[in-house]
Structure 1
């Protein structure tokens, strides 16, 4: 139940965030928007880490874990968000967000190919529904 609650919270937060981004980008270059977002979040994370004492956990990270987490940050927080901010700047939020939210298509394919996760018909059906949704929104 805890995982489901966190997933619902994520849905709400990620559902609200594009509206803030779209409004913030009206008079702002996407790079500047991303830089500001990154500075604010970095400050909050740093403060939280100091106040809770969790920042010391960075010293315990092994190289492989650190490299993969850094790679995730580069793909998601840098490249992904920069492309996303450009898309939001150029088109309607209600068209961009559903397309962006189709990222599970990539995740499922990579997880099946490289993580050895098991295929099942529910994953295929879900993937087809996502593709259908993208095609409908694109029109």
Structure 2
């Protein structure tokens, strides 16, 4: 249940992020919005790391495989964000955010094929319905 609560908080925060990003790209270049947003987000992440006190700052970055994956995730986040922010500059937030929300389909497929996570008929139906919803919402 705790995971669902945090997932709902993240969904709310990311919904607000889409709105504020759209407003920002009305007057700023997408690259500037990206840098400012990620600097502020990074500061919040660093503050959270220090606040939790679960690991020392150096210990958090000592795991080399984890660090490599974090760097790869940062590259993917950066590329996706540049595409997203640039799309927002010329498109509507409802279309760009809705189509971008299909990232979870990519995550499901990567989880199944690369991590060996289970995939059932129920999950396949859920993915199909979600894709249908995105198509309808982006019209």
Change in 2 beyond 3 A, CA 1:62/1:137: same
| CA-CA distance at 1:45 after TM superposition | 3.0
Are the counterparts in 1 of residues 24 and 33 from structure 2 also a CA contact under 8 Å?
Answer: yes
Query: How many aligned residue pairs are there?
Result: 138
Q: TM-score, normalised by structure 1?
A: 0.88
- Regions of 4+ moved over 6 Å: none
Q: The residue matched to 2:108 in structure 1 has which SS?
A: helix
Are the counterparts in 2 of residues 25 and 33 from structure 1 also a CA contact under 8 Å?
Answer: yes
RMSD value over aligned CA atoms? 1.9
Equivalence map 1:93-132=2 (5 Å) = 93-132=93-132
Are the counterparts in 1 of residues 34 and 81 from structure 2 also a CA contact under 8 Å?
Answer: yes
Distance 1:130 1:119 in 2: 15
Q: TM-score, normalised by structure 2?
A: 0.88
Offset from partner CA, 1:118-137 (integer Å, 9 cap, x none) = 11011100111122123223
